[in-house]
Amino acid sequence: MTSTLSVRALEAGELRAAHTLFAAAIHRGPADDAAWARSAQLYGPGRTFGVHSGGALVGTVASFPSELTVPGGAVLPMAAVTRVGVRADHTRRGLLTAMMRTQLEDAAARGEPVATLRASEARIYGRFGYGIATRARNLRVRADPALLRDDAPRGGTVRLLAREEIIPVLRGVHARIAHRRPGGISRTDGWWSATIGRRVDVDREHVIAAVHTGPDGDDGFAIAFLEGSSDFTERGLEVSDLHAADVGATAALWRFLMGIDLVRHVSGELRPLDEPLELLLADPRACAVTGHADETWLRLVDLPAALAARTFGPAEPVLIAVHDGFLAANTGVYRIADGHAERVGAIDGPVRPELECTAAGLAMAYLGDRRPSELVATGWWSAPEPAAVPRADAAFATAEVPWCGTYF
């Protein structure tokens, strides 16, 4: 079926139909003109693909250009894959498979060695070589700043932004701090407009946007929206965004949010696994972990380039065979030694691999989220040479837990 499908880049005049199709696929109605004016900015020229049937658009995928921080601090061009949908009467006929292939080839041609996405369902993207590369947790804490330990870091000052300041100010703060850890990505103006701008300017939601200023200037921010409730004393604050350069800024922003009047609790979704909120509280149980979620799904599009871009920890050399059934050019044996990785041969060549994995399995270790030993133990990787496993653990280990913090 896939071979008969024709995928092509959509013209500018077809992008609104693509958005309407995507919205319907996730069970939302069409955007009105104001909402479309915002959402349109995520549909970059030439980056939206579609499949037609009987003259109608029946499948679409899009991406916008971004950049991903990898271990060691390099920042790689990245395709941020989004707006994926197939019309309900055309699913399971290979449309997504055909579009994914075109999109990944397009990313490679653009010089984007990595692609990432957020998955509506966890069973969709593994077959295309995407693996979960960052994870996150959901938190909920009572809105009472007295819960913070007296000797918890206090940070600097926090100021509230006026609505019209939010995007101009926070765009700059985010750009300064988002690439501080592996998994961080850059945001385009289109992202700000389509996500925060739509809620603030089109939906006219009440928003709390605050900036933290430390000794070196603005180094953290939070954006939060009120959960609806008719009872003034029962409302919750949902943190949609909280980025901070250090623990002082983190503590100051949580303290500020927990001290806002007429708020019963503060909750945050997709927070970093290592966010130290419990450590800041006198009673660590006051912070409830309400869920865990996969965050970044990573596709190593140009495997040699992606592996060469990250640094590896000090370890004796290790040889890994990577099998990539979807982008066959990536298949090969890679050697990690002296902090760097390079391709050293074909799978059935003279170099015998010590470990084997798929592209998706490698993506799970690439940013440091999963250790090779746990991937071997659970069957994601295999270890023809078991002695190589601790060497691989040492090579892939990162000092920081990877996290992104940007939903798209």
167 binds ligand COA (CB under 6 A): no
How far apart CA 70 and CA 66 sit, in angstroms, is 13
21 binds ligand COA (CB under 6 A): no
6, 8, 11, 26: residue in contact with ligand COA (rule CB under 6 A): 26
Contact 28, 20 (CB under 8 A): no
Catalytic annotation, pick one of 130, 225, 366, 408: 408
7 binds ligand COA (CB under 6 A): no
Place of tokens 């919205």: 23
How far apart CA 114 and CA 212 sit, in angstroms, is 32
89 binds ligand COA (CB under 6 A): no
How many Cα atoms occupy the beta-carbon half-sphere of 353 within 13 Å?
A: 23
**CA-based R_g, the chain, Å:** 22
Nearer to ligand COA, 173 or 327 (CB): 327
**Strands, DSSP E only, in 70-175?**
75-86, 114-117, 131-142, 157-160
Nearer to ligand COA, 120 or 378 (CB): 120
3-state SS assignment for residue 307: helix
Per-residue x/- mask for ligand COA, residues 113 to 152, rule CB under 6 A?
A: ------xxx-xx--x-------------------------
> Which secondary structure element, helix H or strand E, spans residue 237, and what is its range?
strand 236-244
Burial of residue 287 (number of CB atoms within 10 Å: 0-12, 13-18, 19+): buried
Catalytic annotation, pick one of 125, 130, 221, 396: 125
57 binds ligand COA (CB under 6 A): no
How many Cα atoms occupy the beta-carbon half-sphere of 2 within 13 Å?
A: 9
243 binds ligand COA (CB under 6 A): no
Tell me whether residue 130 is one of the annotated catalytic residues: no
42, 58, 95, 200: residue in contact with ligand COA (rule CB under 6 A): 95
Contact 182, 225 (CB under 8 A): no
* Count of residues that bind ligand COA according to CB under 6 A: 18
Nearer to ligand COA, 17 or 207 (CB): 17
Tell me whether residue 408 is one of the annotated catalytic residues: yes
Q: How far is the CB of 324 from ligand COA (least distance, A)?
A: 17
Nearer to ligand COA, 70 or 96 (CB): 96
101 binds ligand COA (CB under 6 A): no
Break the chain down into helix, strand, coil percent, rounded to 5: 35, 30, 35
Nearer to ligand COA, 94 or 156 (CB): 94
Angle at 277 between CA 256 and CA 193, to 5 degrees: 60
Nearer to ligand COA, 92 or 204 (CB): 92
3-state SS assignment for residue 41: helix
Q: How far is the CB of 98 from ligand COA (least distance, A)?
A: 7
Catalytic residue set = 125, 408
Which residues form the interface with ligand COA (CB under 6 A)? 25-26, 84-86, 91-97, 119-121, 123-124, 127
